[in-house]
Copies of this chain bind each other. A is one copy, B any other.
Amino acid sequence: MTGTHSPAEDTGPAPDGPTATGGRPIRVLLAEDQSMVREALAALLGLEPDIEVVAQAARGDEVLAAARAHAVDVALLDIEMPGRTGIEAAAELRAALPELKVVVLTTFGRPGYLRSAMEAGAVAFLVKDAPAAQLADAVRRVLAGERVIDPTLAAAALAEGANPLTDREREILRAAADGATNAELAAALHLSQGTVRNYLSTAIQKLAARNRAEAVGIAREKGWL
């Protein structure tokens, strides 16, 4: 588990020759919880002569070990996964394997997701309703040192501004998301009931919602949850 740092000697975006891996196939890890989708994407990538899917993961908490074990050049991570989100896995990878390029691939083009993916060290962000050709393309480009981000989404992320919720507000909103009552929230978070009401109230106002349910919806939609 130790000798398997990234085999490429690139201390920066220095593509020597046609590819950054010096002619050998690009080693890709694919993490996505739905087998059918994962295997289909793997088949798609497998059609590319210069790309090889050397590892697959069905859970976020399998990503790091798999990346280590297979000397991976690029990790393709879905966000919504059991165990650990793709965002969390990206942060983990950056800490442990800083050479590795992380591409985040997701169903939902939520600006907040893009923002946190970037903060977690991802260098590309793809949505699943983009054309399939962009996938292989993104793999090659991140390896060449580029960042790959849908400009529309990037603009949206900038326009949204940052998440206005404080940590506490987010925490409480998340806990309230599945219909818990104030009393239950208070008990679960070791707060008084009045405090819970306060946080929810400010969150509701920040999100311009009419009640907690709508606030949850808005926060979720923007990727702020």
Q: Could you list which residues of chain A lie within 8 angstroms of chain B, going by C-beta atoms?
A: 33-41, 43-44, 47, 105, 107, 126-132, 134-135, 178-181, 209-217
Contacts and interface: CB of A to CB of B under 8 A. Distances in A.
Contacts of A105: 36
A189 to B, nearest CB: 17
Nearest to A221: B178
Identical chains in the assembly: 2
A98 to B, nearest CB: 28
Given A39-B131, A129-B36, A214 B44 contact: no
A35 B213 contact: no
B135 A217 contact: no
A133 to B, nearest CB: 8
A212 B215 CA distance: 15
A39 B132 contact: yes
8 contacts: A35-B131, A37-B128, A38-B132, A39-B44, A43-B44, A179-B211, A181-B211, A213-B213
